[in-house]
Amino acid sequence: MASDYETLIVDRTGGVVTVTMNRPTRKNAANGTMWTELRAVFDDAAADREQRVLVLTGAGDAFCSGADLGDGNNVAGRSGDPYLVQMRALADVALRLHRMPKPTIAKVGGVAAGAGMSLALGCDLVVASDTARFSQIFSRRGLSVDFGSSWLLPRFVGLHRAKELAFFADIITADQAAEFGLVNRVVPADELDEFVDEWARRLAAGPPLALSMTKSMLNNAMAVSMDQALEDEARAQAANFGSADTMEALAAFLQKREPRFEGR
């Protein structure tokens, strides 16, 4: 099922929400309307129990070239507000993606620059075509990093590499991004859709409660002690053992069949 938006194409099929940023003539640069629509779509996806995976991608030959600086007075859908207010609204979009209680995949074909690169890194998994390119372009525009890059980059690549990417704003290839640890997989461009579809189907067939708790614990891993991590794991497993999904997994194992998870 597809939904109509001004800057997005949203398709909900088989438990997978595919969100396509759809401003191809601007390389899917995000204006205020797009940020507002992304926030709404992320909220809908988080609340919809039928949709178990979110895939984020771009139309045409780009993922997202970052914020549309040609629409600078409307950074995050609040035209006329002070820039700090607009940037806090933008940050709210990043937080909604980060807090999404289900797996997210960035499908990156073409350029992912600035906030567009941050948007990709904000997903749980990143799959890039061999023609993809990445850049923390901010400093070339006289800007500091945003949309979570100051938090994301050091966690992915370490502090020195993060500074290199942010200070120089070089354009790196998909293979370089993989070498740095920024993407999970690099695949031929003509295989990108098929590869991501397969990953999304596998995740959609997985146990929603268990995957959600695993995601939350991994996201918090660098902010908690080992003691707290073990306590979090114990509480998560206690919830799992009381769920219908775990009982279904055990029954499926004994009956030598694939489990059918319902998220309860």
- Interacting residues of 139 by C-beta distance below 8 A, sequence separation 6+: 166, 167, 168, 169
**What mean pLDDT, rounded, does the chain reach?**
94
Query: What is the average per-residue pLDDT within 88-102?
Result: 95
Checking if the pLDDT of 10 tops 70, the result is yes
Q: Report whether CATH 3.90.226.10 matches the domain 2-204.
A: yes
| DSSP summary character for residue 214 | H
- Of the CA atoms within 13 Å of residue 72, those in its CB half-sphere come to 4
Query: CA 209, CA 245: separation in Å to the nearest integer?
Result: 8
How high is the pLDDT of residue 77? 60
Query: What is the average per-residue pLDDT within 167-174?
Result: 98
- Which residue carries 């319902």 as its tokens? 262
Checking if the pLDDT of 2 tops 90, the result is no
How high is the pLDDT of residue 178? 97
Query: What is the average per-residue pLDDT within 154-180?
Result: 97
Query: Which H or E run includes 179?
Result: helix 174-180
How high is the pLDDT of residue 80? 75
Query: What is the average per-residue pLDDT within 67-89?
Result: 76
Query: What is the average per-residue pLDDT within 66-87?
Result: 76
How high is the pLDDT of residue 1? 45
Query: Which H or E run includes 58?
Result: strand 53-58
- Give the pLDDT band (50/70/90) at residue 36: very high
Give the tokens for residue 93.
């979009």
Tallying the residues shown for the chain, one arrives at 264
Please report, rounded to a whole number, the percentage of residues in the chain having pLDDT higher than 70.
95
| Selection from 74, 185, 55, 66 nearest residue 127 by Cα | 185
Q: Where are the domains of the chain?
A: 2-204, 208-255
Q: Which residues pair with 17 in a beta bridge?
A: 12, 54
Q: Which residues pair with 57 in a beta bridge?
A: 20
How high is the pLDDT of residue 69? 82
Query: What is the average per-residue pLDDT within 163-169?
Result: 98
pLDDT-wise least confident of 64-68, 132-136, 162-166: 64-68
Does residue 162 contact residue 154 with C-beta atoms inside 8 Å? yes
Q: What's the longest Cα–Cα distance across the chain? A: 62
Q: Cite the beta strand spans of 179-246 per DSSP E.
A: 185-187
Checking if the pLDDT of 210 tops 60, the result is yes
- Give the pLDDT band (50/70/90) at residue 74: low
- Give the pLDDT band (50/70/90) at residue 85: confident
How high is the pLDDT of residue 209? 96
Chain-centre distance for alpha carbon 101? 12
Q: In the chain, what is the straight-line distance between the N-terminal and C-terminal CA atoms, in Å?
A: 24
